[in-house]
């Protein structure tokens, strides 16, 4: 059963058009405020070269970081690599270039793979945000066109408002409990100085750099699948508030506040996992208040009801770990959830040290769990079903992603004969429960598929073997892009 009856488009348009209204008691809200543009799924415009203008075809690609760590402790390398499923080939975008800093905080591609961004360490000034266009046809970065966006940047993410590619970033130095940080947005293409001299044009504010708002040192932001819609996360000592902000028209409104005002000892942070479903009907919000990790289904609508939730497992702390029965024998939700394309399922990475404490395994417990949008304990399914044993097939997962069509789940985990290296494994995220997990063995020679403790084939999909170095493949992200068919 869906949680809302009216369409998500109308609901969110109502919310943000109400936020624009000058008189709350006014009549029918104006729906022509540009919000329909804000919830148009992102497109690939404004990016790098490679579009010949001729016929195109859709390619599924996976981007990831490749870290090479020599065994003799000599300097290694960290690069951004792309694998194309249609062409069955890999391409190293950065190729060890000293101009792109993938080591400090990693490199990130936008959804259409037309821009890359990174944070470069600057002496005495934290990190500077840099971006450069990517040629999606030739799979290379145009370093001649790179530009420095801002200094003192803490984190960033790409989005697209249906007209142009944008970068959202958090910057500043939050000194003391009252210190505030800026959340800003601007086009990836250098803005027109003359156009933006007196602020953004009122009919298209995303054409120029803009301040979305201020958050405290524990606050943050999230971009969404709907381009111009950004979530601001504001925290106090005892609360966490989620605000919707429309980059196209400047409308914003607080959607919901978790916790109670006036308390002390903050249990909320903007770094906790939060994401908007791809059908725009609800937010999956993870909190760890009261010493327990909880997953909430929050309706994306004005004045939403109290969200439904499921208590997952206890927060890691001395004397209170691993007290809940399986499948909840974890103590951390690792990062933002992923969704099935229809928004019916939420996938998240649960981790913990319960098996290490019990002495049954020497690896951290990690599994990708799936929860129905109705969010109840009975709907929790363990997708990866890792063994709790001292064995390579007890995959210690560091990160994962779901393909846009929902047919592939890729995760990073140690290799069979080299636990200090990490390869990429791909499984079906929606298998029959009795047969889960089903690994993609298409790149493994027949008869050489390694068997796990569960009696099933566990095949690496992408890896690199070097005699004198460990190679770690991580930071996985699926992309669906249009490339020339010629």
More confident residue, 252 or 320: 252
Residue for token digits 């066109």?
A: 145
pLDDT of residue 449: 94
Residue 482, exposed/middle/buried by CB under 10 A (0-12, 13-18, 19+)? middle
Contact 383, 367 (CB under 8 A): yes
pLDDT of residue 262: 67
Mean pLDDT for the stretch of residues 459-472: 96
Percent of the chain topping pLDDT 70: 83
| pLDDT tens digits, one per residue of 409-421 | 999 999 999 999 9
Choose the weakest-confidence range: 30-39, 71-80, 128-137, 453-462: 30-39
Mean pLDDT for the stretch of residues 398-409: 95
pLDDT of residue 124: 75
Largest CA-CA distance found in the chain, in angstroms, rounded: 72
Residue 474 is encoded by which pair of tokens? Answer: 């991580």
Question: Which of 83-92, 135-144, 186-195, 263-272 is predicted most confidently?
Answer: 83-92
**Residue 126 neighbours by CB distance under 10 Å:** 15
Residue 239 is encoded by which pair of tokens? Answer: 């609360």
Contact 302, 282 (CB under 8 A): no
Contact 414, 396 (CB under 8 A): yes
pLDDT of residue 42: 40
Choose the weakest-confidence range: 195-199, 207-211, 445-449: 195-199
pLDDT of residue 231: 94
Cα angle, residue 313 at apex, residues 307 and 314 outer, rounded to 5°:
110
CA–CA dist 178, 217 (Å, integer)? 8
pLDDT of residue 69: 95
Distance of CA 1 to the CA centre of its chain: 27
Q: Residue 433: pLDDT band by 50, 70, 90 thresholds?
A: low
Among 167, 281, 159, which residue's Cα sits nearest to residue 224?
159
pLDDT of residue 9: 46
| pLDDT tens digits, one per residue of 383-402 | 999 988 999 999 999 999 99
Query: Looking at the predicted structure, is the pLDDT value of residue 251 above 90?
Result: no
Contact 159, 230 (CB under 8 A): yes
| pLDDT tens digits, one per residue of 59-106 | 999 999 999 999 998 999 999 999 999 999 999 999 989 999 999 899
Contact 34, 248 (CB under 8 A): yes
Residue 475 is encoded by which pair of tokens? Answer: 């930071």
CA–CA dist 124, 126 (Å, integer)? 6
pLDDT of residue 137: 81
Q: Residue 23: pLDDT band by 50, 70, 90 thresholds?
A: very low
User: What's 58's DSSP letter?
Assistant: E
Question: Model-level pTM?
Answer: 0.87
Compute the Cα dihedral for 194, 199, 200, 203 and give only its sign: negative
Q: Please give, one letter per residue, the 3-state secondary structure of 103-114.
A: CCCCEEECCCCC
In this structure, what are the phi and psi dihedrals at residue 341, rounded to the nearest 5 degrees?
Answer: -55, -30
Q: Where are the domains of the chain?
A: 1-59+98-271, 277-414+422-462
Mean pLDDT for the stretch of residues 176-204: 82
Choose the weakest-confidence range: 20-34, 138-152, 192-206, 352-366: 20-34
| pLDDT tens digits, one per residue of 109-124 | 999 999 999 999 987 7
Beta strands in 330-390 (DSSP E): 332-333, 338-339, 345-352, 365-372, 381-382
In this structure, what are the phi and psi dihedrals at residue 423, rounded to the nearest 5 degrees?
Answer: -115, 175
Among 195, 216, 214, 200, which residue's Cα sits nearest to residue 161?
200
Contact 87, 59 (CB under 8 A): yes
Quote the mean pLDDT of the chain.
Answer: 83
More confident residue, 134 or 374: 134
CA–CA dist 108, 477 (Å, integer)? 9
More confident residue, 361 or 167: 167
pLDDT of residue 35: 33
More confident residue, 29 or 306: 306
pLDDT of residue 301: 84
Choose the weakest-confidence range: 36-45, 244-253, 327-336, 451-460: 36-45
pLDDT of residue 393: 94
Residue 454 is encoded by which pair of tokens? Answer: 């569960």
Mean pLDDT for the stretch of residues 460-475: 96
More confident residue, 146 or 19: 146
DSSP 215-275: EETT-EEEE-TTTTEEEEEEE-SSEEEEEEEETTT--EEEEEEEE-TT--S----TTS-EE
CA–CA dist 279, 342 (Å, integer)? 6
Distances (CA, A) of 349 to 33, 39, 170: 38, 27, 25
Q: Residue 373: pLDDT band by 50, 70, 90 thresholds?
A: confident
In this structure, what are the phi and psi dihedrals at residue 317, rounded to the nearest 5 degrees?
Answer: -160, 160
């Amino acid at each position: 059963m869906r949680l809302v009856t009216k369409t998500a488009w109308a609901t969110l348009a109502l919310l943000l058009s109400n936020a624009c209204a000058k008189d709350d008691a006014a009549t029918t809200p104006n729906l022509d405020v540009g919000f329909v543009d804000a919830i148009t799924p992102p497109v690939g415009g404004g990016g790098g070269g490679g579009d010949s203008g001729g016929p195109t075809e859709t390619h599924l690609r996976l981007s990831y970081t490749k870290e090479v760590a020599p065994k003799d402790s000599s300097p290694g390398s960290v690069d951004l690599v792309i694998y194309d499923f249609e062409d069955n080939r890999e391409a190293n975008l950065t190729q060890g270039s000293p101009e792109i800093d993938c080591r400090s905080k990693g490199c990130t591609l936008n959804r259409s793979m037309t821009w890359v961004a990174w944070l470069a360490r600057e002496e005495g000034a934290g990190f500077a945000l840099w971006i450069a266009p990517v040629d999606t046809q030739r799979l290379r970065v145009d370093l001649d066109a790179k530009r420095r966006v801002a200094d003192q940047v803490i984190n960033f993410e790409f989005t697209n408002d249906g007209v142009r590619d944008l970068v959202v970033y958090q910057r500043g130095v939050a000194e003391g409990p009252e210190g505030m940080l800026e959340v800003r947005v601007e086009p990836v293409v250098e803005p027109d100085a003359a156009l933006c001299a007196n602020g953004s044009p009122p009919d298209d504010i995303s054409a120029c750099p803009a301040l979305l708002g201020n958050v405290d040192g524990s606050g943050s932001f999230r971009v969404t699948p709907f381009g111009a819609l950004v979530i601001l996360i504001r925290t106090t000592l005892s609360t966490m508030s989620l605000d919707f902000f429309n980059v196209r028209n400047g409308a914003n409104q607080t959607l919901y506040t978790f916790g109670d005002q006036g308390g002390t000892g903050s249990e909320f942070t903007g770094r906790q996992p939060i994401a908007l479903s791809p059908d725009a009907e609800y937010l999956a919000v993870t909190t760890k208040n009261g010493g327990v990790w909880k997953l909430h289904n929050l309706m994306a609508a004005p004045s939403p009801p109290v969200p439904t939730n499921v208590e997952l497992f206890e927060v890691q702390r001395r004397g209170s770990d691993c007290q809940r029965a399986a499948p909840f024998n974890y103590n951390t939700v690792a990062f933002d959830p992923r969704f099935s394309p229809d928004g019916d399922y939420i996938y998240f990475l649960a981790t913990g040290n319960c098996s290490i404490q019990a002495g049954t395994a020497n690896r951290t417990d990690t599994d990708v769990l799936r929860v129905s949008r109705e969010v109840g304990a009975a709907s929790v399914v363990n997708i990866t079903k890792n063994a709790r044993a001292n064995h390579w097939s007890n995959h210690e997962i560091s990160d994962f992603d779901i393909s846009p069509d929902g047919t592939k789940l890729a995760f990073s985990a140690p290799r069979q004969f080299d636990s200090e290296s990490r390869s990429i494994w791909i499984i079906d995220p929606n298998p029959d429960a009795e047969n889960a997990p089903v690994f993609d063995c298409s790149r493994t020679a027949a008869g050489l598929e390694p068997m796990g403790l569960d009696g099933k084939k566990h095949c690496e999909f992408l890896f690199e073997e070097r005699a004198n170095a460990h190679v770690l493949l991580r930071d996985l992200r699926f992309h669906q892009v249009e490339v020339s068919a010629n």
